[in-house]
Amino acid sequence: MADTVTDALTGSLRTTLAWNRTDTQEVGTVVNRRTASGSYTITDGDGPGEADLVFADQRTIPANSVETFDLLNLSQQALGVTVPFVFRQLRVIRVVNESTTPGRRLLVGVDPGRPTAVYAAEVGPGSEWCAVNQTDAWVVTAANSIVRISNPNAAAVTYSLFLIGTSTAAPGSGSGS
């Protein structure tokens, strides 16, 4: 059987992501597992390639439902505390479908001004969708602050959501921090 690698988010707070990675190899009746854990810190700042906010969460979305995240009003409760997040610029958005069941797909929408039937991507089992704009970031406004994750399946699906950006308004955006 081929190697399988499983990533699990263990928590996040501001600019640090903590994670566990398990590599499982089955050879006959012997199963080898190697686990590594660590954290990744984003370079603090609002310049190109820098960020001062990280939001990461692993969630299970019920069958036939939609979850929405407002980039101007997020909180992180995975660590037992509520930490407010207000993204002024978004540099990375990543959605990982943690399901391994064939056909269990997720739909990702990032434009609240369009009908919920319009999505940016379809994410199959064990796959991910990522959009990156590290150089100048996307300016987050009330008109584009909603991220939608939709589960069109007849069963619940677990996924991980990662958002990396800054709390500083983009130059020339006309909004304050």
The gap from C-alpha 39 to its chain's centroid, in whole angstroms, comes to 16
Confidence of residue 73 (pLDDT cuts 50, 70, 90): confident
Identify the pLDDT of residue 21: 64
Average of pLDDT values for 141-170? 85
Measured CA to CA in angstroms, residue 46 lies from 16, 86, 102, 146, 174 at distances of: 16, 14, 40, 21, 16
Identify the pLDDT of residue 41: 60
In our burial notation (b when 16+ CB lie closer than 10 A, e otherwise), range 143-177 reads ebbbbbbbbebeeebebbbbbbbbbbbbeeeeeee
**Ranges 79-93, 110-124, 133-147: which has the least confidence:** 110-124
Average of pLDDT values for 82-102? 84
Report pLDDT digits (tens) over 11-30. 554 555 566 667 777 777 77
Give the mean pLDDT of the chain.
74
Spatial separation of the C-alpha atoms in residues 173 and 98, rounded to whole Å: 36
Average of pLDDT values for 78-84? 57
Average of pLDDT values for 40-63? 76
Confidence of residue 175 (pLDDT cuts 50, 70, 90): very low
Q: Which residue type does 48 have?
A: P
Identify the pLDDT of residue 83: 62
State the fold for domain 46-166. Answer: Jelly Rolls (2.60.120)
